[in-house]
Structure 1
Amino acid sequence: MSVLLFLAAIIAAFWYLRIEELEREHESVKRDTEVAQQQIRLRLIENQEQLVRVAREITTRAIDQDEFVGQATTFARERPEVVSLTWLGADRSRRVSYLSPSHTFNGSRYAEPAEAAASAASGPKVTKSEPEWAFEAARDLRQPVYSRTYATSNGLHVFQVQVPLIDRSAFVGTVVAEYSVEALVRYFVPTEVSNRHGIMLLDPNDRVLASTISRVSAKNGERPSIFHDIPVAPVGNGLILRGLGYRTSIGLISNTLFWMVAALSALTVWMLLGTWRHMRRRLQVQSALVAETNFRRAMENSMLTGMRAMDLEGRITYVNAAYCSMTGFSETELIGKLPPFPHWPPDRMEENRRLFEQELQGRSPAGGIEVKVMRKDGTQFDARMYVSPLVDAKGNQTGWMTSMTNITEAKRIRDQLSASHERFTTVLEGLDAAVSVLSVQQGELLFANRSYRLWFGADARGHALLAGEHPTEVDVTLPDHDDSVDNLSGLPTQELTETGSDPREVYIESLDKWFDVRARYLQWTDGRLAQMLIATDITARRRAEEQAAQQAEKAQVTSRLVTMGEMASSVAHELNQPLTAITNYSNGIISRVKAGTISTEDMLVALEKTSKQAQRAGQIIHRIRAFVKRSEPQRQAAQAREIVEDAVELAMIELRRRNVGIHTYVAQRLPSLMVDPILIEQVLLNLLKNAAEAIDNAKLAPSRRNIELRVIPRHTPEEGGVIEFSVTDNGPGLKEEVLGRMYEAFFSTKADGLGIGLSLCRSIIESHRGRIRAENLYNGPSVVGCRFSFTLPVDTATLSHH
């Protein structure tokens, strides 16, 4: 710890000195940057004062254009940073301009940036140039304004100061001085500052405009680690003066003293670690010896297996505590004894002597021998003994080692398992279900109970039929390319579960039977992977289900006939109107034809009206006939809107008779439904008819005699994506006892009802994997209506297409 603390103190001292050095370098950069900024600022302020004086002389007409050129010449000669001086009028027209001979130009050069010249040549200016912006600012503010930097056509970075000319409070122009950014850095950054640190001027986009560092050294040299930015006053407008500094010290890790101290400290730590490891190794070896001795002693005393050592003559030389505990004899009573041993039963002396001779000759079986052992108290127990040569460290045999295990309990459990297996086999043989076990690798039938043998015989073909494979190719090996197989273990990942696989229903044509087959994989007694099938005969159940389906289909047709029977008077009234109209039109035509007062046009109009009424009557009859027609349930892709339109067209007959209105809303772009349209129309018609009867029986006012039919898409966690059909009325609602029994067969609240309507509706919806529900609508404690709704799952393939 002392060495580590010493090393840490040295590192902390070096680090502190380095931080202090960096702070001094940073202060030096900051100080030199401020000195350069001060020099440039003083120069710009001095020039600005001179320009203000010239502007004052112009406004007082103390000088004219020729004298302005003379003063500009003197001004520019004494100030190499000035590129040009210009006198602009109030309309920004150039009155007179002077270009400094210190700067070279290609062609004529005036106070216009390269962008402005290009814009003027190409057409109307889209954006204002920097001189234009500065001119307008000086005109508006009535004070000197500095422009932002811009590049001239010669590639020179410059900026302007525009001093306004104010004559009796009127703006009459500006005096413009254009500065070279590069000249400011060259002439007004002190030499001692540029020798110590790099100084550069940057625009608002952090682009270097001028620098005391050459481009090559700035590009390829070391990146500055210290810099300080300060705005150039009074220019502003984002012109930044940056001072750069470079680390000149050799750094902490290159310090020779530091490395010497670190090396000495590391050497000391290494020596301490070596000593500590040596002492630790000695302690480990010593502890290992003690632990080994204690472990061997504890192992000898805690082993449940009895251990006995004998010399080559058969004399007992060692017994452990477990051997003494098994026999009841102490260590002193056994060590040194020769046969016959005290734990040999008197009635088995000859047998034990014969086995003992086999031990001394090394002919004991590798699986051990089963013997009877007598305890000191005279009781006996079954034991299994294993004999092996006792070899010393030099590889010489010095005797025999015998291990003895009490197998009394194991033998009892083995006998019980044998009896249990016999009982289990008896139960399997008595099952009505066929049970078979097939080896996956060899295709060998490992087990088949009586029912399997009765139905399929004693070969594996029946197993293959139940497993859904070709009967002539009994091969249930697992292919390597099958994704359902785990190639690491060779076991199918789906089938190997604790509860087994999902049941399948299989039809065996040769037996004309249906079987409920459950399969799972298991490990057979010899370690082989096997497939077990349990096939239950469900032929009677399947036939009962088919009969129930036929009865349900008949009930559906009966319900439709009952519905149309209940609507018979309404249908008759609905058909009476077109038939009466046909009769009236026909009689009218006959009368006018006999009187000779009908023209061809009037006759055509009357015949067309008669034809429309006949078509109307035919549509009503066709709709009713299609509704009540007996047909096999046929699911097909259907649209909810078409189902609703057909159902409402049939229901309007009953609704008009009962003076009940209906409002229908079907959402746009609904996905297709895979349903039987006639059955769904039957459900909707039943619900609409019930709602109309509830409203009519309640004698509601005309404003409340309305039914609302809505079809909207929904998504619930239980059902997923569904389409919901809801029928809402303003009737008296349903009683609580009715809500609990309304779907029971033959339960009805009507005096003449059969009680199959809602029960059949529920069966139809549930056969389409949907749900139907009913609920009362409340306004506070009062029931103000009832809503029946049912959901149908959407066709997922059609939904993805939409």
Structure 2
Amino acid sequence: MNSTERPATPSSPHRPRLVQMWQNWWRGLSPSRQDRYAAIAPLVAVVMFFIAIVAAFWYLRSEELEREREAMRRDVEYAQQRIRLRLSERQEQLMRLARDVGNQDVDKNGFNDRADTLISQYAELQALTWIDPGRQVRATQFGPSVAAENLLTIDEVIQKKELLELFEMARDLQQPVFSQPLATTETAPMLLLEVPISQKGRFGGVLLAEFSIENLLRYGTPTEILARYAVTMQDGKGTTLAGTPLTPRVAAQRLLPWRAQPNEFDMPVAPVGNSLKLRAQGYHTSLGLVSNGLFWLVGVLSFMTAWLLVATWRHTRKRIRAQEALQGETNFRRAMENSVLTGMRALDLQGRISYVNAAFCQMTGWSEEELVGKLPPYPYWPEGDQSTYHDMLIDEMSGKVFPGGFQMRVKRKNGSMFEARLYVSPLIDGHGRQTGWMTSMTDITEPNRIREQLSASYERFTIVLEALDASVSVAPLGSAELLFANKLYRQWFGSQTVGHLQLVAQAGVLPSNSNASTSMDDEDGLMGLPSDEITTAVSGNAEIYIAELGKWLEVRSRYLNWVDGRLAQMVIATDITPRRHAEEQSARQAEKAATVSRLVTMGEMASSVAHELNQPLSAISNYCSGMITRVKNGSLSEEALLGALEKTAHQAQRAGQVIHRIRSFVKRSEPNRSLADVSDIVSEAVELGSIELKRHNVRLSHHVAARLPKVNVDSILIEQVLINLMKNGAESIANAERPAHQRMVELRVVPRKIDATDVIEFSVQDTGRGLSPEALERLFQAFFSTKSEGMGIGLNLCRSIVESHHGRMQAENLYNGPEVTGCNFSFWIPVASQAESAE
């Protein structure tokens, strides 16, 4: 009968309430919990029985030890009384001798006789000394069997600090005084007694008695106590003075630690006090294993019973856990089969469906009852494909396995179709025999659609890359493998990485130490690459010329992570040959425009130049006419002739310098940048520009800062910019019709720092009417001019010249309150080191 099928017993009103509560609690437990408690109950009973045996043994043993301790205490008290009586008798005998000595009834010889009698009669008394009040030894007597080194010498009696204190105490108290046991490394411990001598009420010295503590223990302790216990004498610090104490046995410490220490009891010896203690230790004849054999037998049997019960309980628990694990595994597998999206189908050896999971039914729309037990053709086979699928099933049943599975169309119950991929594996039972075939089916309609879209996207991507007008190549770092190359790259360089590496090396888009050879085997081939470029993927651009192709290419590079995780470098090369040709043509046109601008400037300055040349030429003509006249008159001396000729030569040189400046200014030449001194450039420009300023009656003042660094420029172009700005300033002043004291142009050249860059700033300031807001916005545009006869290329050309030297140019009005008082044109050029780094 099962535990859950017990007949209900009617509750009796006479049954105790506790029993009813127990029965109700037991019936409320589950069967597995009842089995568990039923298995634990015997084990608990055995453990409780064993605990009761141990408690009883412990109680009896405690009682026995307590009785032993009580008997030891009585014996020690008895032995202490015997020693105390023995010491008291010796004290009384010494007091009688001291009284006789004090009454002078005993002289020195008589003292020696009586002392010798006491020493020979009592073994514990080792020596007896008579000391007068001055601490001088009058007489001393000791036993013949005692070695002299074990007794106090006369010097020790006189000088030892402890004896001095004892002597003074006996003198002050006028009573016998015991001292603490004295011992050194050379002598055995001795107990001292000093008895004061009274001579007619005055202190007459002491009698010093030396007692052997070893003999006092041996003769003062009853022999039965010495036979029963290990008796020792100890001082107040626990040091053994006489006797041999017991030591715990190593075997007993390992087997029974609580019995390793013997029973012991000690108490002070009167009348000495706490400085001398009598200690007794009880002997252990055995560990009690034989006498407690019954206890150990019960213990072993209890342990064996408990071990068997525990083993049975553990075996039962293992079986219960195995059943629970099997049930949990079954539930887990069932839940997993019902939750997966893969359809599962099992066939027996005849092709009959024996099992389908919920996913298979959900895919096909057929229920489990409609599929299980069906033979081919199956309901989910399309009508037009049944013969093909039947042949595939025959191949499947014959053991032909498709490693990658096979694809087929499946018909749902509602008539719709979907694509599926099936994987077949043999179904093996627990005995290793094949019982059928297990098939897993996955709906691949959506993956097929995504695959088609990816294929189309890849095809479009490939078409775009192949049709690009730029060469695209990707290669891993540190390898000669070419990961990708488009059509134009293959046309230019073929299908090898030679072209890719040539572009990388010639464009300099790899760091300088990336190709450094390494000699250590553990070094990485990518060591030395700039981590900032790799992590931030900053592209680098460079323009290079490929002689084999005869083309100029703009190369751009970027680091990227390839699909396999390797670090790769993508290089894009664009043909910029037409652009370079256009830039060269534009440069030539700009050069021609600069030359034309200089010619136009000199054309505008023609009258001023003619006036400037007319002065030295007129002076030459006058000097020549004067010399001719004076030669004809005969009034020209040799010194006057030399002076006139020197002045004539000076004016000729002056005219030649003007012509040389004009020729060098308007001469067409290729741009030639070199290190130039700023003061020389300014002086050349001022010399030519002052001619035009004089024509307009405008004063020119210039300031050049001292110790300016050199600049890397084309001096003629910078002179052209300065002359143009000074000429425009003079014309602005002339158009404004300023009075003579306000007709002034100022040129300043000073060093400055702009955006952490050292530059030289040139500024030309006039006192004209300034510029309108519209003119300020369009001032540097081509063909825009504020003058009616101007062409509008001067300032645009000046700005282009300054920017070609990595500089900037700007203009602004000068104000005095709301009134415009002039205009300031300024531009700056980097110093030589800054300009070289910018290039």
- Identical-residue share of aligned pairs (%): 61
2:805 corresponds to which residue? 768
Q: Distance in 1 between matches of 2:633 and 2:710?
A: 59
> Which segments of 5 or more consecutive residues in structure 1 lack a partner in the other structure?
1-287, 471-476
The within-5 A match list for 1:476-495 is 479=515
Where do residues 631-650 of structure 1 align in structure 2 (5 Å cutoff)?
631-650=669-688
Counterpart residue number, 2:752: 714
Say whether 1:667 aligns with 2:705.
yes
Query: Distance between the aligned counterparts of 2:731 and 2:360, measured in 1?
Result: 95
Describe the shift of the 1:299–1:792 C-alpha distance in structure 2 as closer, same or farther (beyond 3 A): farther
Q: State which of 627, 637, 641 in structure 2 corresponds to 1:589.
A: 627
CA distance in 2, matches of 1:703, 1:312: 122
Distance across 2 between alignment mates of 1:769 and 1:320: 78
**CA distance in structure 1 between the partners assigned to 2:820 and 2:813 by the alignment:** 7
In structure 2, do the counterparts of structure 1 residues 792 and 426 end up closer, same or farther at CA, with 3 Å as the change threshold?
A: same
Q: Is the 8 A contact 1:486 1:492 kept in 2?
A: no
Q: CA deviation at 1:291?
A: 11
Aligned length, in residue pairs: 505
1:624 alignment counterpart: 662
Residue 514 of structure 2 contacts residue 527 of structure 2 at CA under 8 Å; is this kept in 1?
Answer: no
Q: After TM superposition, list the pairs within 5 Å mapping 1:411-560 onto structure 2.
A: 411-435=448-472, 443=480, 451-452=488-489, 454-455=491-492, 462-463=499-500, 465-467=502-504, 479=515, 501-520=539-558, 533-560=571-598
> In the alignment, which residue of structure 1 is the partner of 2:411?
374
- Per the alignment, residue 824 of structure 2 pairs with 787
- C-alpha distance 798-759 of structure 1, shift in aligned 2 (>3 A): closer
What is the one-letter code of the residue matched to 1:657? R
The alignment partner of 2:540 has SS state of coil
Q: Supply the distance in 1 between the matched residues of 2:487 and 2:436 (Cα, whole angstroms).
A: 57
Helix, strand or coil for the counterpart of 2:384?
A: helix
Give, in whole Å, the separation in 1 of the partners of 2:636 and 2:716.
Answer: 47
Shift of 1:617: 2.1
Instruction: Report whether the alignment pairs 1:733 with 2:770.
Output: yes
Aligned to 2:717: 679
Do the aligned partners of residues 774 and 294 (structure 1) sit closer, same or farther apart at CA in structure 2, a change above 3 Å counting? farther
- Cα distance change of structure 1 residues 397 and 523 upon mapping to structure 2, 3 Å threshold: farther
1:579 aligns with 2:595: no
Q: What CA distance in whole angstroms lies between the structure 1 residues aligned with 2:586 and 2:330?
A: 81
Which whole-Å deviations, capped at 9, do the CAs of 1:99-121 have from their partners, x for residues lacking one? xxxxxxxxxxxxxxxxxxxxxxx
**Distance of 2:706 and 2:337 partners within structure 1:** 86
CA deviation profile, 1:414-450 (whole Å, cap 9, x unmatched): 2333344444444444444445556767646666555
Gaps of 5+ in 2: 1-324, 508-512
Change (3 A) 1:747 1:347: same
Counterparts of 1:669 and 1:403, CA distance in 2: 90
> Following the alignment from structure 2 to structure 1, what is the Cα–Cα distance between the partners of residues 768 and 552?
50
Question: Quick one: distance in 2 between partners of 1:724 and 1:566?
Answer: 27
User: Residues 342 and 784 from structure 1, CA distance in 2 versus in 1: closer, same or farther, beyond 3 angstroms?
Assistant: same
Amino acid at match of 2:642: L
Question: Out of 736, 748, 753, which is 1:698 matched to?
Answer: 736
1:365 aligns with 2:398: no
Cα deviation 1:76-129 (Å, max 9, x = unaligned): xxxxxxxxxxxxxxxxxxxxxxxxxxxxxxxxxxxxxxxxxxxxxxxxxxxxxx
Closer, same or farther: CA 322–738 of 1 in aligned 2, 3 Å: same
Q: Does the CA-based 8 Å contact 1:638-1:673 persist in structure 2?
A: yes
> Would you say 1:383 and 2:420 are equivalent positions?
yes
Gap change, CA 1:681 and 1:456, over 3 Å in 2: same
Deviation of residue 558 (structure 1)?
0.8
Q: 1:621-643: CA deviations, max 9, x gaps?
A: 22222111111001112232222
Alpha-carbon contact 1:521-1:529 (below 8 Å) kept: yes
| 2:640 corresponds to which of 582, 602, 609 | 602
Give the partner amino acid of 1:555: A
**1:342 maps onto 2:379 in alignment:** yes
Which has the larger displacement, 453-462 or 689-698?
453-462
Q: How does 1:140-151 map to 2 (within 5 A)?
A: none
**1:22-49 C-alpha deviation (Å, 9 max, x unpaired):** xxxxxxxxxxxxxxxxxxxxxxxxxxxx
Distance 2:604 2:676 in 1: 28
Residues 772/311 of structure 1: CA separation in 2 closer, same or farther (3 Å cut) = farther
How large is the Cα RMSD of the aligned pairs?
Answer: 4.2
In the other structure, the counterpart of 1:565 is: 603
The equivalent of 2:201 in structure 1 is none
Instruction: Quote the Cα distance in structure 1 between the aligned partners of 2:588 and 2:326.
Output: 87
CA deviations 1:556-599 (Å, max 9, x no partner) are 01111111111111111112222222222333333334434344
Amino acid at match of 2:782: A
SS at match of 1:343: coil
335 and 798 in structure 1: CA distance in 2 versus 1, 3 angstrom threshold: same
Counterpart in 1 of 2:446?
A: 409
Q: Please report how far the alpha carbon of residue 527 of structure 1 lies from its aligned counterpart in structure 2 after TM superposition.
A: 7.5
> Aligned equivalents of 2:328 and 2:774: distance in 1?
81
Contact preservation (8 Å) 1:672, 1:799? no
**Residue 606 (structure 1) shift:** 3.0
User: Which residue identity does 1:603 align to in structure 2?
Assistant: L
1:675 offset after TM fit, Å?
Answer: 1.4
Task: Say if 2:767 is the partner of 1:750.
Answer: no
Change (3 A) 1:320 1:767: farther
Shift of 1:687: 0.6
Identify the residue that residue 126 of structure 1 maps to in structure 2.
none
Tell me whether 340-349 or 298-307 shows the greater mean CA deviation.
298-307
Quick one: which of 748, 758, 761 aligns to 1:724?
761
- Matches of 2:615 and 2:412, distance apart in 1: 114
**C-alpha deviation, 1:554, in angstroms:** 0.6
Deviations 1:481-521 (A, max 9, x none): 59xx9856999868768988334333233443323344456
Corresponding residue of 1:615: 653
Cα 1:289–1:575, aligned 2, differ >3 Å: closer, same or farther? farther
Q: Contact between 1:345 and 1:374, CA under 8 Å: does it hold in 2? A: yes
For residues 53-452 of structure 1, the aligned pairs below 5 Å read 300-308=337-345, 319-335=356-372, 339-356=376-393, 363-388=400-425, 401-435=438-472, 443=480, 451-452=488-489
Aligned CA distance change for structure 1 residues 591 and 356 (closer, same or farther; 3 Å): same
422-431 vs 521-530, which moves further: 521-530
Deviation at 1:684, TM superposition (A): 0.9
Which residue number in structure 1 is paired with residue 238 of structure 2? none
Give deviations 1:752-798, integer Å, cap 9, x for gaps.
Answer: 22221111111111212222111222233322211111122233369
